[in-house]
Amino acid sequence: MMRETPPQLMIAAEVALWLRIRCSTIYAWSATGKIPSLRLNGTLRFVRTDIQRWLNDCSSCPADSHLSMPHLIIPPTPTAVSHQSIKEAGARAIRHVTNRKLLQRNPTVKTPFLSDNAEERKDRA
């Protein structure tokens, strides 16, 4: 009985070596969907068979063809960001910078955002 082996996953550096291009190009192509890729627990991975298929598709099509850019394996999902959440993030950043400045001027001041004490963090949670 033959076991089917799972597809080999590759990292960006391996794909870059294979294609003889820079690793940054692989990341850029992945971000724009030009090369098939997937994310596993936040890390970028490439399936060898998908890259081989992509290369075959690219070599058989004219450069200006829409087929030279294959569909993503896992399409990106846009994240909706509201105007309110942007305001809140800006306010948090300003508070953080302000608290850092206060702490630099007077190290005895306790600020809720810069506490390194685990117990204080638990109390706030």
Beta bridge partners of 109: none
What would the two tokens of residue 119 be? 């117990």
Q: What is the DSSP letter of 23?
A: H
Q: In terms of pTM, does the model score above 0.75? A: no
Q: Where are the beta strands (DSSP E) in 21-123?
A: 38-40, 43-47
Residue-level pLDDT, tens digit, the chain, 125 residues: 455 555 689 999 999 999 999 999 999 999 999 999 999 888 999 999 999 999 888 877 665 554 445 555 555 565 666 777 778 888 888 888 887 777 777 766 565 554 455 455 455 55
Contact 46, 9 (CB under 8 A): yes
Helix H or strand E encompassing 51 = helix 48-60
Alpha-carbon dihedral 59, 60, 66, 68, rounded to 10 degrees? -20
Are residues 51 and 18 in contact, defined by beta-carbon separation less than 8 angstroms?
yes
Specify the pLDDT at position 2: 52
Q: Give the architecture-level CATH label for domain 9-68.
A: Orthogonal Bundle (1.10)
Q: What is the pLDDT of residue 89?
A: 81
Q: Domain limits of the chain?
A: 9-68, 83-124
Q: Is 1 helix (H, G, I), strand (E, B) or coil?
A: coil
pLDDT of residue 66: 47
